[in-house]
Structure 1
Amino acid sequence: MKKVMVLAAALAVFTACKDDKQTTVESDSTIIETPTDTVTVDVDTLEGAETGADAEAEAAGSAETVTTENNAAKPSAKYAAFGDKMVADNALTKEQMLKKYSSLKPGDTINVKFKSTIKNVCQKKGCWMTLDMPTGKESFVRFKDYGFFVPLNAGSREAVVNGKAFVSEISVAELKHYAKDEGKSQAEIDKITQPKLTYGFEANGVLITQ
């Protein structure tokens, strides 16, 4: 009887050891497999993130290309600056400026900024210029306190002027002086016999396209 009990006990111990060994192996297998699964998931996540980053980078590149193309289609003008510092933004057109002039009487002045094409420039020093206005008119621009001058070859370029606009009457003597500065012939100067109501402008700052 004692032998049977001893045998039974030994069998039980053997079975328990066998079960423990299986558990250990299975546990080891789980430990091995689990990190592998985790690494696989992390790699997938990283690959997805990289794909998303590549897509964003590609989209950003496309946006920059469109912006560049748009800028190329509408290049901003480059100006040479004279007198006080100023910007070209929000300048009136010559059509809008003509309406302003039409509302003025001799002696009136308004502070304004407008842009137009340069018709003529003083060919001696560049101390005045005329700007094209609608209906064949022009604005005669002088520079405040003769503090600066513009290039003699600035004719036909776009200009933006900032300062005071006014309407005034120019005497015959002044008109002849300006005609001489402009380089007109003596015959053309002699034809000036009447004063002229003009659109005047005293600019403290000027921008001219380069």
Structure 2
Amino acid sequence: MKKIMVLGCSLLVLAACKKESEEVKVDETKVETPVDSIAIKDTVAAHQIEAVPVATEATVVAETKTEPAAKTEAAKPALKYAAFGSKITADKALSKEQMTQKYASLKKGDTIDVKFKSKIMSVCKKKGCWMKMDLADNKESFIRFKDYGFFVPLNADNSDAVVSGKAFLDVISVDELKHYAKDGGKSQEEIDKITQPKITYAFQADGVLIQE
């Protein structure tokens, strides 16, 4: 009988301990759950704060920095010319290559009104009453001035010039060739070598521009 009573008491004590243990677990669960929830929320908030970019001084400087203005090419200065004879302009003047082609297409007796630009090869050293201008293929144009109405400087050799007037083919006699050779400062030996008339690319200029 005593054994039965002891066994019954033991079962009651065991049941009471088990119930108390379950209540403690329930309480722990209730308490721990809010803590875990708070921890998770804090972690999310921390990630959100870290994701927000913070403007630094370097960033502000980079954003406000302006690029230097593009450099503009300096405008080329306009060419200056000394003018002789009738008033003309330098625009739309043919090159020496184009003028050489014009002369090559001419026949004796043909005359064309034209304007071209090239370098002065030589000038009359007495009065400046004629000059020779460079053409392509080692050729030259013999320039005289309309009605001897004007002359060019004696030191205009090697200057760039623009001439406007009439271009044509001309046959220059031996006497004229010797005269021009003498005016051009040729030696007597060179003058004596002239024995044949010469077909020249002639030009009668009514206006001349010489680059200063």
Query: What stretches of structure 2 of length at least 5 have no aligned partner?
Result: 1-68
Among candidates 136, 153, 156, match of residue 154 of structure 1: 156
Query: Which residue of structure 1 lines up, in the alignment, with residue 50 of structure 2?
Result: none
The 5 Å alignment of 1:26-175 reads: 66=72, 69-71=73-75, 74-175=76-177
- In 2: Cα distance, 1:184 partner to 1:159 partner: 23
- In 2: Cα distance, 1:89 partner to 1:164 partner: 17
- In 2: Cα distance, 1:70 partner to 1:204 partner: 35
Among candidates 172, 175, 178, match of residue 176 of structure 1: 178
Query: Which residue of structure 1 lines up, in the alignment, with residue 4 of structure 2?
Result: none
Query: Which residue of structure 1 lines up, in the alignment, with residue 196 of structure 2?
Result: 194
Q: With the length of structure 2 as denominator, give the TM-score of the two structures.
A: 0.66
Aligned letter for 1:70?
A: A
- In 1: Cα distance, 2:105 partner to 2:88 partner: 26
Percent identity for Structure 1 against Structure 2: 69
Aligned letter for 1:155?
A: D
Cα root mean square deviation, aligned: 1.3
- In 2: Cα distance, 1:78 partner to 1:197 partner: 34
Among candidates 205, 208, 211, match of residue 206 of structure 1: 208
By how many angstroms is 1:70 displaced?
2.9
Structure 1 counterpart SS, 2:137 = helix
Q: With the length of structure 1 as denominator, give the TM-score of the two structures.
A: 0.66
Structure 1 counterpart SS, 2:204 = strand
By how many angstroms is 1:197 displaced?
0.7
Query: What stretches of structure 1 of length at least 5 have no aligned partner?
Result: 1-61
Aligned letter for 1:163?
A: G
By how many angstroms is 1:75 displaced?
2.9
State how many pairs are aligned: 144
- In 1: Cα distance, 2:186 partner to 2:77 partner: 37
Larger radius of gyration: 2
Higher fraction of helix: 1
- In 1: Cα distance, 2:124 partner to 2:109 partner: 25
- In 1: Cα distance, 2:94 partner to 2:111 partner: 16
